[in-house]
A and B are shown apart, each in its own frame.
Chain A
Amino acid sequence: MAFISSGYNPAKPMEGRVSDIGPRHFGEYLPPVIKDNFGKWDYHEIIEAGILLHVAQSGDKTYTVRAATARLMTVTHIREICEIADKFCGGFVRFTTRNNLEFQVETEEAAKELKAFLNAQKFEGGSMKFPVGGTGAAVTNIVHTQGWVHCHTPATDASGTVKATMDVVFDDFTNMKLPAPVRISMACCLNMCGAVHCSDIAILGIHRKPPIIDHEYLDNLCEIPLAVAACPTGAVRPTKVEIEGKTYKTVAVKEERCMFCGNCYTMCPSLPLADGEGDGIAIMVGGKISNRITKPAFSKVVVPFVPNEPPRWPTLTKVIKKILDTYAAEANKYERLGDWANRIGWERFFEKCDLPFSEHLIDDFRDPAYYTWRQTTQFKW
């Protein structure tokens, strides 16, 4: 492995440096039909699952074929995407805000041909490379995070839980038979990088044990006041400990006040808390972003804990499937999952989805918790 220079000169690092140029302008990458009709679209239609038609005021038409990706993808895979885009789409392709792919073609026949082609592409292990779907009242791609592939604070894995879940709900990716779109999101810790707090169904990694304190190193590695300020419940305070006759500046954690968020670890490497047996997943439901009919809403915790069961997380996927199927069977047309639960009442939601209700689901975080309790005699038996 011989070092190949790009032209950068480490002896004169600031010489010839280019900075603050930002992204390329999107205008350079619009397919001609998109460029010509920019801002002049008349209407759209979903021809069938995974195929959209957009018609411009000029009468121009463009067909979009939407296909899934695993988000974590390789150079080889991206080159394959490029080959397809070169062959079918004049060398253009886009990614969606949920990490799906979209290919533009000119005719319905071409779109159907491309759909069939994409659906036929398989990895060696047998999974589909580009399954087509994710449009309309369907489950689309799962917005997710880094997990054990790259992050240091996760309580679960992202890529694995997502693959396991999408395999189980796959039928609803390739069909449009739900009352409304169902957005599933995933975050491997409660930093919630992504959309977990505002999704119909959300998978969230959680810890259940307080941090382990590395007293002998803490003061050298951490700014103690930052670790103290990091705690939402005031469980961390500065202190001193004596180990083998030596005194160390460190912190103490009031364990009964700690709810295992891991934020002190984010700020201080000497407070790790990951634990194979303690860690797992909380399931949240009922969030949405759009303003359609009802206002945007946060997702709510309905299952406080399911264990990590790599590689396929069977308990997690079973609960999600049950919630999804119950919603699909019971909700009205256009009703998002949270709108359905609000209409029937959360006590009924738990009953119908066969979920136990436990003390963990009652909010106890500061003043706003009160507003989540029931200040009325209106409830259902």
Chain B
Amino acid sequence: MAKHKTPLLDQLESGPWPSFVSDIKQEAASRAKNEKGLDYQIPVDCPEDLLGVLEMSYTDGETHWKHGGIVGVFGYGGGVIGRYCDQPEMFPGVAHFHTIRVAQPNGKWYSTKLLGDLMDIWELRGSGLTNMHGATGDIVFLGTSTPQLEEIFFELTHNLDIDLGGSGSNLRTPAACMGMSRCEYACYDSQELCYNLTMEYQDELHRPAFPYKFKFKFDACPNGCVAAIARSDLSFIGTWKDDIKVNQEAVAAYVGGEFPPNAGAHADRDWGPFDIQKEVVDLCPSKCISYEDGKLTIDNKECVRCMHCINTMPRALKVGDERGCSILCGAKAPILDGPQMGSLLVPFMEVNKDDDYQSIKDLIENVWDWWMEEGKNRERVGETMKRLGMAALVHAAGVPFDARQVQEPRHNPYIFWKADDVKGGWDRDINDFRKRHQR
């Protein structure tokens, strides 16, 4: 027998899409039954009270969580999002309902052993509810009480060798696309670079020392499967410098209809037979492909590596061999100054595991040194760039200026010069001027 009536939420149990309501009810029933005889460390009916408070929000159209909540574990300044219900008498099971961010393996590969071990901890010490995963990437344990935080942290670190994720004004949990693990487009090992930098900057992740939050994301090609360009302050996006590799026989197989275009991504609708001129050559943004006498030619010097031709004919066209990544800076959501996507800072950077990614680390630390000094309270690096200028970032990063850093040159002439760069400097005497120009 359910603890609260949930007539509105019940309507979300029908329809084909997996129902979170049915799933929460299933957890509530499992806890009520408690077949394993667990001594639950937070109220058994926590999931039922969550449904109760959610039903109340559905009725009045307003959230019932109190503002904020500052909880955590000793030694760290983040990792836990505190939350308290604003109707604790009615819903005591969620009076405390903190979430814990748990560091996920990159690419989100799991063994069932690892998932099982994580669930054992969470079933005993939490609500039994999770998010798989948070938008930043973390495993999210959704709902527990303050006294359980240290216990959970102890079990995670001692028994599972797993740490918390980030929250607050610090480096947040980095995330990567699946990259080399299962994608032929991967231009560098996004998962390994992600892991390496996560470990290198553990201190910056666990102890807030920044003006505001800072995120890394790693896409191994410009398709952007982890959306680095939109969702990380520093985005590492794989690319190549040499030629796209063309296999003419495979091109012929596409033209002949043996291979489906775009690997079959449009298979459920009749788009007519594959037309290489219309679907590849004419759509190339640089117009640098030609197809004549059964031969596909790419003027690679003019290619912007948008991935379209490769995406459309993955068996015939391959990314080049001289690979690395581009680094873009400043993406953020709208608050305060408006949304930003990453702006190109470094067109090409080697991704070299042999020297422990030193050149990438140097760049990151240059950007941080600048932003930690210049960034205002709660100012994302993208906003600092807007306030002080892209050129200031390029200087700080210690990389060369490059026409690739702009979409177009400025159209206003409000140009700053440094006194040192102007012959004679800025110290001028009005009397000298008057010698030449009478008042």
Interface status of B354 (Cβ within 8 A of chain A)? no
Give CA–CA (A275, B299) in the complex, Å.
58
Shortest Cβ gap from B169 to chain A (Å): 13
Which of B219-227, B364-372, B424-432 binds A? B219-227
Shortest Cβ gap from A87 to chain B (Å): 10
Contact pattern, A 23-55, Cβ under 8 Å of B = 1, otherwise 0 = 111101111001000110111111111000010
In the assembled complex, which residues on chain B have CB atoms less than 8 Å from the CB atom of A356? none
Interface status of B23 (Cβ within 8 A of chain A)? yes
In the assembled complex, which residues on chain A have CB atoms less than 8 Å from the CB atom of B202? 20-22
Contact B58 A157 (CB under 8 A): yes
Contact A128 B285 (CB under 8 A): no
Contact pattern, B 108-143, Cβ under 8 Å of A = 1, otherwise 0 = 111111111001001110001111110100000011
Q: A70 and B23 in contact (CB under 8 A), knowing A1-B41, A26-B106, A312-B11?
A: yes
Contact A73 B20 (CB under 8 A): yes
Interface status of B262 (Cβ within 8 A of chain A)? yes
Interface status of B391 (Cβ within 8 A of chain A)? no
Contact B54 A289 (CB under 8 A): no
Closest to B153 in A: A8
Closest to B189 in A: A39
In the assembled complex, which residues on chain A have CB atoms less than 8 Å from the CB atom of B284? 293
Interface status of B5 (Cβ within 8 A of chain A)? no
Count residues on chain A whose CB falls below 8 Å from chain B CBs. Answer: 143
Q: A19 and B76 in contact (CB under 8 A), knowing A148-B57, A290-B307, A312-B11?
A: yes
Interface status of B300 (Cβ within 8 A of chain A)? no
Which of B96-104, B355-363, B392-400, B413-421 binds A? B96-104
Shortest Cβ gap from B124 to chain A (Å): 7
Contact B133 A229 (CB under 8 A): no
Interface status of B155 (Cβ within 8 A of chain A)? yes
One of B19, B20, B43, B181 near A38 (C-beta < 8 A): B181
In the assembled complex, which residues on chain A have CB atoms less than 8 Å from the CB atom of B15? 126-127, 163, 166-167, 170
Contact A99 B133 (CB under 8 A): yes
Contact B230 A198 (CB under 8 A): yes
Shortest Cβ gap from A343 to chain B (Å): 12
Contact A296 B123 (CB under 8 A): no
Give CA–CA (A82, B20) in the complex, Å.
18
Shortest Cβ gap from A194 to chain B (Å): 4
Could you tell me which residues of chain A, from 60 to 99, have a CB within 8 Å of some CB in chain B?
A: 62, 64, 68-79, 81-82, 85-86, 91-97, 99
Interface status of B184 (Cβ within 8 A of chain A)? yes
One of A5, A31, A197 near B339 (C-beta < 8 A): A197
One of A69, A193, A291, A311 near B222 (C-beta < 8 A): A291
Shortest Cβ gap from A97 to chain B (Å): 5
Contact A126 B162 (CB under 8 A): no
Can you list 15 residue pairs at the A/B interface with Cβ under 8 Å?
Answer: A8-B150, A17-B157, A21-B163, A22-B163, A75-B128, A76-B30, A91-B112, A91-B113, A123-B23, A126-B13, A127-B18, A150-B142, A154-B63, A159-B20, A193-B333
By Cβ-Cβ distance, the 9 closest A-B pairs, closest first, are A125-B13, A136-B265, A276-B61, A167-B15, A123-B22, A269-B67, A23-B103, A74-B27, A148-B57
Chain B residues with a Cβ under 8 A of chain A:
8-27, 30, 39-41, 43, 47, 50, 53-54, 57-68, 74-76, 81, 83, 97, 99, 103-116, 119, 122-124, 128-133, 135, 142-143, 147, 150-155, 157-158, 160-163, 175, 177-178, 180-184, 186, 189, 191, 195, 198-199, 202-203, 205-206, 222-227, 229-231, 260, 262-269, 271, 279, 283-285, 304-308, 311-312, 314-315, 333-339, 341, 377-378
Q: Told that A6-B152, A72-B129, A289-B227 touch, could you supply 17 new A-B pairs with CB distance under 8 A?
A: A26-B109, A38-B180, A38-B181, A39-B186, A46-B263, A70-B17, A70-B20, A74-B24, A76-B26, A85-B112, A150-B83, A176-B266, A176-B267, A177-B268, A279-B61, A293-B306, A296-B230
